[in-house]
């Protein structure tokens, strides 16, 4: 039963959702205390960010024990209670499956440093040459080299991400068997599936030198290779024993390579997170921003709607800056926040709402590097410093794109620390929590929160919005229009992504607008979106 074609999934970044014990760190009991919020929103599943034992070099994406819970987040009993309490509310739990790499604190890695141990080949080790050169010219995702010398083994190990995130070696069949055990462990506990971290990078073919690129040299040796597809088909056999859902985070996918990963007949993944629509406001790499181009964004969304029968839909996550400043308008905060919600919840696919998106949370209000936590942001600042970029310009480059923009604690109310913690928060709470918080929106029928709740309910009520076909009507420089159709049901969505009004020729009976209005006469106000029935 493809439940994920009828449900909306909510992403929780556990460190920043709700603290329950005053240590300033979000935790599992805190999540349990907020499940009623998620049930009221109307989501059918939670993608829970990594809560496994971890030294937190990358806030849990550096795992040292896949079958134990980070004590900062709680206990295994807490995790089992979360699964049960969520289930009691009709909410499934998806775990974050991070199997491209482990923490160098994992016992597999520690023992892999001894060439004679049974774990010697769990990771990708290589000799440099005796002049101190690295095994090849590949570069990593976090702005640093991707080879680290280990003085005990006297060899280098590969890490495409932080140096404490060592890439696993899937040429070793024992690694695949370990991963199958991890899947069974969590599926036996009742989770409904997994979000799979950088899952299209698992198989590295040769370690030959890669082509020099502006960033990420060597991709051709490890991105979406046939070996990875074989691994995914093997893992799918275990997942199918449980009817589990998988959505893969897949860097650099195109619709073609995405289909090879998630078309049903491939029996690999059920969906992927693509990145192309999140690259419409950058030059080549995300640190070099450009003005957001709505038409490029619309055309990209239309391409992916046309080329994949089904996929995930998202505008925010824990790696991306917030969507209103990026694709909407701070000046029209409420209208554009609602407009983006109307887009997300009326396209075809499985919508993902990231914590805080439902109340219009914005980027952090930090002013200096020492307030940041993110390893990627710190590495990039170090690289820029090596190129003698002045501090002010470094801060401008890093702060616009830093992943910490979406990692500030959830703003529950206007009280101290936005109601997130009674202690000192691990990452600063945005001072705008006085104005932007759930408590101030819950009883306001015109709030972004009320709008999300209403649209989630409407999507559940109207099958045409979940299962209907998609037809693009217009992708202009400011207006995006499309139609959903199922049997006799037709709904037209018309979105004005601009500070300027727009006049359009679509007709139909008004179902929703993010502005108060009676009927629809074709005149769209700034950042207005309308949903029409029997649109023409």
Q: List residues binding Ca ion (CB under 5 A).
A: 19, 21, 23, 25, 27
| Residue 249's binding partner out of ligand TEU, Ca ion, none, with CB under 5 to 8 Å set by partner kind | ligand TEU
The footprint of ligand TEU on this chain (CB under 6 A) covers a number of residues equal to 14
* Dihedral over alpha carbons 340, 346, 350, 356 (to 10 degrees): 30
Residue 51 makes contact with ligand TEU by CB under 6 A: no
In the bound state, the residue with its beta carbon closest to ligand TEU is 61
Q: Has 249 been annotated as catalytic?
A: yes
Instruction: Supply the minimum distance, in Å, between the C-beta of residue 424 and Ca ion.
Output: 11
Instruction: Supply the minimum distance, in Å, between the C-beta of residue 101 and ligand TEU.
Output: 7
Tell which residue, 436, 427, 382, 432, has the closest CA to residue 403: 427
Which of residues 318 and 334 has its CB atom nearest to ligand TEU in the complex? 318
Among 51, 251, 359, 491, binds ligand TEU (CB under 6 A): 251
Instruction: Supply the minimum distance, in Å, between the C-beta of residue 243 and ligand TEU.
Output: 25
Instruction: Supply the minimum distance, in Å, between the C-beta of residue 401 and ligand TEU.
Output: 8
Residue 249 makes contact with ligand TEU by CB under 6 A: yes
Residue 58 makes contact with ligand TEU by CB under 6 A: yes
Tell which residue, 411, 382, 412, has the closest CA to residue 398: 382
Phi-psi region at 233: left, alpha or beta (left = phi > 0; alpha = psi -120 to 50):
alpha
What's the chain's length in residues? 536
Residue 286 makes contact with ligand TEU by CB under 6 A: yes
| Residue 61's binding partner out of ligand TEU, Ca ion, none, with CB under 5 to 8 Å set by partner kind | ligand TEU
Among 17, 73, 138, 141, binds ligand TEU (CB under 6 A): 141
Of the candidates 197, 270, 319, 376, the residue annotated as catalytic is 197
Residue 19 makes contact with ligand TEU by CB under 6 A: no
| Residue 58's binding partner out of ligand TEU, Ca ion, none, with CB under 5 to 8 Å set by partner kind | ligand TEU
Question: Helix (H, G, I), strand (E, B), or coil: what is residue 459?
Answer: helix
How big is the chain by its Cα radius of gyration, in Å?
23
Helix (H) or strand (E) holding 354: strand 350-354
Instruction: Supply the minimum distance, in Å, between the C-beta of residue 474 and ligand TEU.
Output: 29
Among 175, 198, 341, 479, binds ligand TEU (CB under 6 A): 198
| Residue 4's binding partner out of ligand TEU, Ca ion, none, with CB under 5 to 8 Å set by partner kind | none
Maximum separation of any 2 CA atoms in the chain, in Å = 77
- Output DSSP code: residue 173: H
Question: Helix (H, G, I), strand (E, B), or coil: what is residue 282?
Answer: strand
Phi-psi region at 161: left, alpha or beta (left = phi > 0; alpha = psi -120 to 50):
beta
- Do the Cβ atoms of 338 and 530 come closer than 8 Å? no
Residue 61 makes contact with ligand TEU by CB under 6 A: yes
Q: What are the CB-based long-range contacts (under 8 Å, 24+) for 284-288?
A: 284/214, 284/215, 285/214, 285/215, 286/401, 287/380, 287/397, 287/398, 287/401, 288/397
Question: Helix (H, G, I), strand (E, B), or coil: what is residue 187?
Answer: helix
Among 38, 63, 98, 372, binds ligand TEU (CB under 6 A): 98
| Residue 144's binding partner out of ligand TEU, Ca ion, none, with CB under 5 to 8 Å set by partner kind | none
| Residue 198's binding partner out of Ca ion, ligand TEU, none, with CB under 5 to 8 Å set by partner kind | ligand TEU
In the bound state, the residue with its beta carbon closest to Ca ion is 27
Residue 319 makes contact with ligand TEU by CB under 6 A: yes
Distance between CA 398 and CA 258 in Å, rounded? 30
**What's the per-residue H, E or C state across 360-417?**
CCCCCCCCCHHHCCCHHHHHHHHHHHHCCCCHHHHHHHHHHHCHHHHCCCCCCCCCHH
Which of residues 19 and 358 has its CB atom nearest to Ca ion in the complex? 19
Instruction: Supply the minimum distance, in Å, between the C-beta of residue 189 and Ca ion.
Output: 22
- Do the Cβ atoms of 374 and 399 come closer than 8 Å? no
Distance between CA 42 and CA 33 in Å, rounded? 16
Residue 222 makes contact with ligand TEU by CB under 6 A: no
| Residue 141's binding partner out of ligand TEU, Ca ion, none, with CB under 5 to 8 Å set by partner kind | ligand TEU
Among 197, 260, 270, 528, binds ligand TEU (CB under 6 A): 197
Instruction: Supply the minimum distance, in Å, between the C-beta of residue 29 and Ca ion.
Output: 8
| Residue 98's binding partner out of ligand TEU, Ca ion, none, with CB under 5 to 8 Å set by partner kind | ligand TEU
Residues 6 or more apart from 232 whose CB is under 8 A from it? 199, 202, 248, 261, 268, 269
Tell which residue, 420, 392, 531, 400, has the closest CA to residue 468: 531
Of the candidates 249, 268, 376, 404, the residue annotated as catalytic is 249
Distance between CA 480 and CA 340 in Å, rounded? 12
| Residue 23's binding partner out of ligand TEU, Ca ion, none, with CB under 5 to 8 Å set by partner kind | Ca ion
Taking residues 154 to 173 in sequence order and writing x for each that binds ligand TEU by CB under 6 A, - otherwise, the string is -------x------------
Residue 272 makes contact with ligand TEU by CB under 6 A: no
Taking residues 384 to 423 in sequence order and writing x for each that binds ligand TEU by CB under 6 A, - otherwise, the string is -------------------x--------------------
Residue 287 makes contact with ligand TEU by CB under 6 A: no
- Do the Cβ atoms of 19 and 421 come closer than 8 Å? yes
Which of residues 13 and 142 has its CB atom nearest to Ca ion in the complex? 13
Distance between CA 382 and CA 374 in Å, rounded? 13
| Residue 25's binding partner out of ligand TEU, Ca ion, none, with CB under 5 to 8 Å set by partner kind | Ca ion
Strands (E), 5-83: 9-12, 45-48, 52-53, 65-69
Distance between CA 277 and CA 308 in Å, rounded? 14
Residue 273 makes contact with ligand TEU by CB under 6 A: no
Distance between CA 520 and CA 507 in Å, rounded? 7
**Catalytic residue numbers, as ranges:** 197, 249
Which spans of this chain sit near ligand TEU (rule: CB under 6 A)? 58, 61, 98, 141, 161, 197-198, 249, 251, 286, 318-319, 376, 403
């Amino acid at each position: 039963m493809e439940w994920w074609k009828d449900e909306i999934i909510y992403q929780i970044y556990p460190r920043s959702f709700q603290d329950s014990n005053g240590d300033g760190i979000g935790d599992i009991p805190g999540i349990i205390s907020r499940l009623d919020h998620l049930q009221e929103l109307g989501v059918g599943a939670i993608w829970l960010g990594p809560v496994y034992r971890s030294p937190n070099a990358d806030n849990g994406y550096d795992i040292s024990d896949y079958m134990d819970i980070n004590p900062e987040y709680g206990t295994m009993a807490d995790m089992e209670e979360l699964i049960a309490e969520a289930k009691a509310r009709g909410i499934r739990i998806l775990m974050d499956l991070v199997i491209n790499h482990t923490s160098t604190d994992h016992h597999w890695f520690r023992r892999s440093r001894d060439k004679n141990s049974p774990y010697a080949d769990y990771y990708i080790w290589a000799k440099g040459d005796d002049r101190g050169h690295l095994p090849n010219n590949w570069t990593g995702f976090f702005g640093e080299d991707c080879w680290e010398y280990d003085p005990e083994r006297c060899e280098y190990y590969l890490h495409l991400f932080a140096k404490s995130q060592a890439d696993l070696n899937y040429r070793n069949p024992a690694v695949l068997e370990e991963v199958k055990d991890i899947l069974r462990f969590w599926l036996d506990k009742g989770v409904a599936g997994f979000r799979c971290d950088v899952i299209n990078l698992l198989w590295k073919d040769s370690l030959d030198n890669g082509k020099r690129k502006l960033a990420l040299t060597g991709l051709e040796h490890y991105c979406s290779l046939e070996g990875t597809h074989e691994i995914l088909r093997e893992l799918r056999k275990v997942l199918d024993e449980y009817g589990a859902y998988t959505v893969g985070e897949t860097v650099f996918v195109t619709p073609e390579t995405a289909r090879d990963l998630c078309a049903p007949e491939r029996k690999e993944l059920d969906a992927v997170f693509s990145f192309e629509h999140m690259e419409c406001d950058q030059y080549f790499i995300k640190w070099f921003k450009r003005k957001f181009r709505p038409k490029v964004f619309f055309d990209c969304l239309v391409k992916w709607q046309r080329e994949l029968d089904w996929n995930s839909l998202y505008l925010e996550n824990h790696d991306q800056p917030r969507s209103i400043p990026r694709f909407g308008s701070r000046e029209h905060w409420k209208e554009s926040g609602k407009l983006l919600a109307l887009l997300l919840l009326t396209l075809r696919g499985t919508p993902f709402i990231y914590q805080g998106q439902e109340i219009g949370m914005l980027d952090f209000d930090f002013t200096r590097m020492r307030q940041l936590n993110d390893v990627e942001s710190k590495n990039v600042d170090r690289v820029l410093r090596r190129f003698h970029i002045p501090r002010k310009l470094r801060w401008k480059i890093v702060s616009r794109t830093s992943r910490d923009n979406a990692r500030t604690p959830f703003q529950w109310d206007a009280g101290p620390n936005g109601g997130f913690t009674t202690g000192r928060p691990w990452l600063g709470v945005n001072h705008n929590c006085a104005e932007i918080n759930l408590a101030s929106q819950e009883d306001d029928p015109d709030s972004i929160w009320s709008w999300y709740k209403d649209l989630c309910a409407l999507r559940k009520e109207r099958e045409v919005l979940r299962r209907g076909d998609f037809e693009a009507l217009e992708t202009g420089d400011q207006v995006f229009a499309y139609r959903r159709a199922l049997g006799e049901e037709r709904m037209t969505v018309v979105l004005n992504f601009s500070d300027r009004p727009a006049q359009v020729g679509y007709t139909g009976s008004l179902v929703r607008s993010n502005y108060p209005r009676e009927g629809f006469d074709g005149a769209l106000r700034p950042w207005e979106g309308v949903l029409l029935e029997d649109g023409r």
